[in-house]
Structure 1
């Protein structure tokens, strides 16, 4: 349906596309133009009750479906994503401001691949062998779905983070009520609509709304587990709310990835790869390569090389094929990034960028220049706090021990990388780095088969891989007396 400002999105509840029960809506803004382009339901308690009621009613049938039946449904969803990839990508770009072609190339194939992986994974869940651990008694393990799952996804990768959440949950036999970020409901509602053709009504529900909707989704008494990808603040709030009735919690939160470049690294290759991994998606990635620690012998040259990469990196409108990244997601995020750079201490230096960007066709959009900062100290705000923008910092370390101490010396523990030709050094660092992911001579690749998740304030639980599937199951011990 079209409105004066563009599209009007719908909730997806019990297999139907519906407005909020009270008819309330809110504006959705295109980050590239800064203009309202759509409206979405502002859902309340009645909408959540309806969605959770549908998920609860659908749970038994979906939980008892055979792994083959669930896998078949997920494979059909994957095929539908491939068939409608350009349409889905256009929708994703509209409320994220991402470059269209890069999003097509980097996200659409991965989106369907994740569904295909979990379709296969649901058919090969493993447990301990049945056996007589007590005389005249046989024990075995059942791995069962948890129940109804409440999920909250962020605005930086709305489509991909939705898939990371729903694919393992559905594969394991759970039913879902998901709330996308209020700024990016488009691809989540479209994907949910596509899924309805292949899933029984109520298995997957999407409810749009603001932060209050998200809080109510987490606090609702129906879900047995809640999962969120978001900020540390949001994760702590979710964990606290869930604790009141002992819901399980799955948290993938912020990051401040150390990128440790030793003196023996190839400076030009490392600078090019790190710039891409730091500026991709405007740095709005909790694994982004935005905190570089450079060895004493290469620091100055590396800052220069990285600054040159920044100067050759372009931001712009989604259909510009020569850009690496588009707009920041919203006005608040642009103000946050600008504020972090504007508050630089006197001992720090802006090697490149450092200001909002001017873009043809996006005069009111939320653009920021690719930026390199040097001279920062370990306790500076820009080192300790996630900036979540196209800003890369560079620190000079003196030796391996200091590099490790500085790398681990933040509240986050999501991802990291080490750049060196010394295999022994790479192995030592990978063992001692307190992060859930360690890349060596690369940064940011993901595959469906390998887990992603953090330590410390970056949360707990794993996305992707068999570990991600297991997180959405519970373990039951069954024992049978077999004596005469």
Structure 2
């Protein structure tokens, strides 16, 4: 069991206090996370601010090359990082697990390196010209969650570094170890101070958000915490990008073929054990297809093996932490007590670890906590509807608006339904498949700003208009 270090100014920094990081499959300690003090945070911000002076004026092609080198480092060390990620997060090595996450991290870094933000000519004639330039902001504070700790870290830091900013990164206290190790490796190909990592408990995130030396916060997490981040950032007028929680609805249209969409529905809901902001969390199904859809989902779920993520045969792992495990159990039991039918799963297995089986729940409706709240776990409520217009209205009744989906044999009809959903991203016959070139963000309580693509890169810059 190792004591990990902070990374500040390119160097490992020891701390006097640590917290245990546990494997959710075994509840055994994986390693010890350093707890940063206020002085450590100040040192990290100072290191990033100093590095910014040089990094912000590095030629664009050199910054592109640096981000490509980051992608190379991730690929070259992917197996080491994947195993450590599995030990602390719980997700399987195989399938859509840790190796998949490392592949995504590499892909996002590589694509980010290809995006250009050229000078825009707004006006040019014999009287002169007006040009729009994009300039880096300064020190970016990144606060990442525990569900995809490495990939989301890359979603934050690659565009920041690509645009000439420097970074102070704070991972979740549930999954800090793989992030620390990745930052150590990335510092081998980045100038000292460009990328720093400080770790600790949740209160460290607020200190980062309030820090006067940080110009922008990018945060991925719950809507409740996102509101606190935005409030804390207000005093220093920080820029913010907030990718927050979702309670994504999927609507199956009456012409859908249950056997053809069952696999897509399942993985739309259960990718990363349902611990995904843009997972399918409510499924609206027409009366005529309800029983057939439920049966197809139950049959598919029965084939998916759950177990310790280090076992190469496991496809689903445990819920990441005890608090989230308890919430999932509570929501299912609340639905059961109100008359819901648990079609599969719904029972905590014996033994250690925070395991909960893939669970399909029927005979629920709006007003059930399982439908109205984001469960963020391996449970899918299936909700009947008689009128398609009513299903759309119910899907839009949530305060969340991250993602949604429409499932149909008629793509044009599905697109018509999709256009009526109040969410930042919508998918046809799949759910949650984000892409590095497509902007991603939420509406309503699901966030502010976007990530990915040119639009996401622009969020790490300020505009300067040059009149000549």
Please state which band the TM-score falls in when normalised by the shorter chain.
Answer: over 0.9
Secondary structure of 1:143's counterpart equals strand
Identify the residue that residue 265 of structure 2 maps to in structure 1: 274
Identify the residue that residue 65 of structure 1 maps to in structure 2: 58
**1:39 is the counterpart of 2:51:** no
Residues 253, 414 of structure 2: 8 Å contact kept: no
Identify the residue that residue 395 of structure 1 maps to in structure 2: 383
Identify the residue that residue 419 of structure 1 maps to in structure 2: 407
- The answer for unaligned runs of 5 or more in structure 1 is 1-5
**1:253 is the counterpart of 2:248:** no
Residues 78, 99 of structure 2: 8 Å contact kept: no
Residues 278, 390 of structure 1: 8 Å contact kept: yes
Report deviation, 1:48: 0.6
- Of residues 112, 117, 128, the one that matches 1:125 is 117
Output aligned runs, 1:230-241, within 5 Å: 230-241=221-232
Q: Which runs of 4+ in 1 moved over 6 A?
A: none
**TM norm structure 2:** 0.97
Residues 280, 324 of structure 1: 8 Å contact kept: no
- Of residues 177, 188, 191, the one that matches 1:200 is 191
Q: Return the alpha-carbon distance in structure 2 between the equivalents of residues 409 and 436 of structure 1.
A: 15
Report deviation, 1:147: 1.1
RMSD over aligned Cα atoms: 1.4
Residues 404, 433 of structure 1: 8 Å contact kept: yes
Residues 86, 310 of structure 2: 8 Å contact kept: no
Report deviation, 1:460: 1.5
Residues 223, 446 of structure 2: 8 Å contact kept: yes
Secondary structure of 2:288's counterpart equals coil
Q: Give the count of matched residue pairs.
A: 466
- Of residues 102, 108, 113, the one that matches 1:108 is 102
Report deviation, 1:338: 0.6
**CA-to-aligned-CA distance 1:143-197 (integer Å, 9 cap, x gap):** 1111111110000000011001001111111111010000101121111111111
Identify the residue that residue 366 of structure 2 maps to in structure 1: 378
**CA-to-aligned-CA distance 1:38-61 (integer Å, 9 cap, x gap):** 111111211110000001111121
Residues 384, 411 of structure 1: 8 Å contact kept: no
Residues 151, 226 of structure 1: 8 Å contact kept: yes
- The answer for unaligned runs of 5 or more in structure 2 is none
Report deviation, 1:105: 4.5
Identify the residue that residue 16 of structure 1 maps to in structure 2: 11
**CA-to-aligned-CA distance 1:77-101 (integer Å, 9 cap, x gap):** 1111111111111111110011112
Q: Return the alpha-carbon distance in structure 2 between the equivalents of residues 172 and 469 of structure 1.
A: 7
Secondary structure of 1:417's counterpart equals strand
Output aligned runs, 1:11-410, within 5 Å: 11-20=6-15, 23-102=16-95, 103-121=97-115, 124-132=116-124, 136-344=127-335, 345-358=337-350, 363-410=351-398
Identify the residue that residue 3 of structure 1 maps to in structure 2: none
**1:435 is the counterpart of 2:423:** yes
Q: Return the alpha-carbon distance in structure 2 between the equivalents of residues 183 and 412 of structure 1.
A: 25
**TM norm structure 1:** 0.93
Residues 85, 104 of structure 1: 8 Å contact kept: no
